[in-house]
Amino acid sequence: MRRGSLAPYIILFSLLSLWSCKNENQEVLIVTELGDIIIELYTEKAPVTASNFLANCTAEIYTNAVFYRMVNLHNQPNNKVKIEVIQGGLYNDSVIEQFPVIAHETTQQTGIRHQDGTISMARNEPGTASTEFFICVGDQPSLDFGGERNPDGEGFAAFGRVVSGMDVVRKIHARAGIDQFPDEQVRIIEITTDNNL
């Protein structure tokens, strides 16, 4: 067999390897009234958190949910450590409390950092996250394990990142005002787990 005849097979194998790596994680589409956001979920690095989010999407609990909290550097006067995020979900505490909580996967465990476009779970105490999530606008290391935003030092459970639509995230973030919870929320029409993204 001639040495050159293996080249097409090597190229094909390389392309298949790249394709399988690219599709290792699940993507979801967040359809909002201001445009679409595509999120890659790190199902292997953060299996508990990503699986919970996927289950919520599949159950269509985010249909007609909202982005309701837009935090910028100017509307958190009582916080010594500043962050910039948009937060979304069901908003109503009495509805949120109906959903089971999940174990807290720290960034120390997963290796996922709160960088620009990272999606992460909102929580009170560690192990209380269920439906509410946020997306980072810019790098937010204070939200990682050991960060100073939360006194417990456990950080938040990051589980994916925006791969398309950061312009939409920034449009939503631009609605921030004096209050972190402005009157003008952004409707989430649906979050779909269509595998054809």
Q: What pLDDT is recorded for position 196?
A: 52
Q: Where are the domains of the chain?
A: 25-192
pLDDT at 2 over 50: no
Pick the range with the lowest mean pLDDT from 7-16, 39-48, 86-95, 130-139: 7-16
- What's the CA dihedral at 42, 43, 46, 48 to 10 degrees? 150
Q: How confident is the model at residue 25 (pLDDT cuts 50, 70, 90)?
A: confident
pLDDT at 119: 98
Nearest to 121, CA basis, from 95, 141, 94, 101:
101
Task: Please determine, for residue 168, whether its predicted confidence score (pLDDT) is greater than 90.
Answer: yes
Residue 180 pLDDT exceeds 80: yes
Give alpha helix (H) positions in 23-113: 47-58, 93-96, 107-110
pTM of the model: 0.86
Classify residue 100 by its DSSP letter: P
Write the pLDDT tens digit of every residue in 60-104: 999 999 999 999 999 999 999 999 999 999 999 999 999 999 999
Name the CATH topology of 25-192: Cyclophilin (2.40.100)
Phi-psi region of 151 (alpha: psi -120 to 50; beta: other; left: phi over 0): alpha
Query: If you average pLDDT over residues 134-151, what whole number do you get?
Result: 97
Report which residue type is found at 34.
L
For the cut 60, the answer to whether the pLDDT of residue 53 exceeds it is yes
